[in-house]
Amino acid sequence: MIKPAGKIGVFDSGLGGLAVLREITKRMPEYGYLYLGDNLRAPYGDKSQEEIFKHTLAGVEWLFANGAEIVILACNTASANALRRIQREILPLEYPDKRVLGIIIPTVESMENFSRSGHIGVLATEATVASGVFEVEMEKHNPDIRTICQSGGMLVNLIERGKDQKILAAEIKSVVGGLLDRDGLIDTVILGCTHYALIAGQIERALPKNVKVVGQGGIVAAKLSDYMDRHSEIRVRLENRFLIDFYTTSGNEDIKKLMAQFYGEDSRVSTVEYDVS
């Protein structure tokens, strides 16, 4: 166990949250960070809601135990299937001074700034699509926008395993084609799984030139910065020293190399174990 000292925790089922972490640290380089990827149990997109909740809660509690004062679920599947329950059932009783935030509502709140046609596509995991959370939250925050959600198929598996680029390109073409077939007026595509930010360029090339691709990293970073400005009770408990510690639940050395590669630096990644019950 590392020494607890007020940090910002970032949790994801695997690699995708690194894209969010990168944008957050650019925006707020004055803090220390813990990144935890649950690569051992990834992907979450094909798991039941109860499994997703248990895995997410275990990761959040590990981050709390190791110094995180606030945790960002940089995973749409976890945000859609576990966030509300953690906020309502777990935090008030067990961690009243801690905070856990998701990334779906910040994304939805920003969508009116991107789409001209009012037709937005969302690429996400099966579990996120099944939850209907993007449609529900968009109706609340931007009721004039029509939202079409499309499963990303095998994209997360292909990214996590570093599969052949030809196979990946074929899957991207299939997923994008399925989305556009459902609504030809889509002019904006949200990467509703943080893993997809790692292949944003390839997705963009598979789309018509008039369709823009929106990742969540910059949006989440801006919203978190604003949140910290408004919540001094959290901010004052954070250590004012930039440092990032990277952790994964997988002992696979290839996964560790991919984590360092996707973050953009030659970073040391440690393996941790914790109980998921």
149 is a catalytic site residue: no
Give the list of residues 6+ apart from residue 143 with CB closer than 8 angstroms, or none.
none
Q: How far apart are CA 267 and CA 246, in angstroms?
A: 8
pLDDT in tens, 51-67: 999 999 999 999 999 99
Architecture of domain 7-104+218-271: 3-Layer(aba) Sandwich (3.40)
Number of neighbours of residue 277 by Cβ within 10 angstroms? 5
pLDDT in tens, 222-276: 999 999 999 999 999 999 999 999 999 999 888 888 888 778 777 789 999 999 9
Give the range among 70-74, 87-91, 189-193, 259-263 with minimum mean pLDDT: 259-263
Decide whether 7-104+218-271 matches 106-216 in CATH topology. Answer: yes
75 is a catalytic site residue: yes
Residue 220 has pLDDT above 60, yes or no: yes
Q: Where are the domains of the chain?
A: 7-104+218-271, 106-216
Contact 106, 78 (CB under 8 A): no
DSSP symbol at 90: I
Overall pTM surpassing 0.85 (yes/no) = yes
Model pLDDT, residue 120: 97
Sign, CA torsion 205/207/212/213: negative
The residue to which tokens 């995991």 are assigned: 125
Looking at 100, 193, 197, 244, which residue is catalytic? 193
Angle at 164 between CA 159 and CA 168, to 5 degrees: 55
CATH number of 106-216: 3.40.50.1860
The residue to which tokens 């390109």 are assigned: 169
Looking at 10, 75, 86, 191, which residue is catalytic? 75
Q: How confident is the model at residue 210 (pLDDT cuts 50, 70, 90)?
A: very high
pLDDT in tens, 173-198: 999 999 999 999 999 999 999 999 98
